[in-house]
């Protein structure tokens, strides 16, 4: 297994790998919410939601603030530029591979047509 020395990127992708955590980010994109509100919205225990929020917080994607007995969550200030750059590098790699495959397919079609195989009776 290959290990990369980008702990921030790794933490982000690990946090984003879970559908509930992605949902929490979407929800917090609309409005700040308490952990209790998030737990209710996602039909899970308070303890379970605290764990999800903790992972998001460690990745810098969410911040929490405790006022009295209520812990309020909001989107973190951290942007996902490094992660977007990583994804873009692989998008470009795959786009180039598909472009090369398209060229091979077009060449085969051209050869079939030139050989008369392109016509079906």
Q: What is the phi/psi pair of residue 3, to 5°?
A: -115, 135
CATH 1.10.10.10 at 7-75, yes or no: yes
pLDDT given at position 13: 94
pLDDT given at position 73: 97
Report the DSSP beta bridge partners of residue 63.
Answer: 74
Among 70, 62, 79, 78, residue whose Cα is nearest residue 25: 62
Structural domain spans, the chain = 7-75, 79-121
- Asked if the model's pLDDT at residue 120 lies above 60, the reply is no
pLDDT given at position 69: 92
Instruction: Give the distance, in angstroms, between the CA of residue 99 and the centroid of all CA atoms in the same chain.
Output: 25
Q: Which two tokens stand for residue 50?
A: 């605290």
Q: How confident is the model at residue 35 (pLDDT cuts 50, 70, 90)?
A: very high
């Amino acid at each position: 297994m290959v290990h990369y020395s980008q702990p921030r990127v790794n933490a982000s992708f690990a946090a984003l790998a879970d559908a509930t955590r992605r949902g929490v980010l979407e929800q917090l994109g609309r409005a700040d919410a308490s952990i209790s509100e998030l737990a209710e919205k996602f039909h899970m225990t308070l303890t379970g939601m605290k764990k999800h929020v903790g992972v998001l917080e460690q990745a810098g994607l969410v911040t929490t603030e405790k006022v009295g007995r209520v812990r309020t969550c909001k989107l973190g200030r951290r942007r996902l530029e490094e992660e977007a750059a990583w994804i873009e590098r692989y998008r470009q790699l795959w786009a180039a591979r598909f472009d090369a495959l398209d060229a091979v397919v077009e060449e085969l079609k051209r050869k079939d047509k030139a050989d008369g195989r392109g016509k079906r009776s």
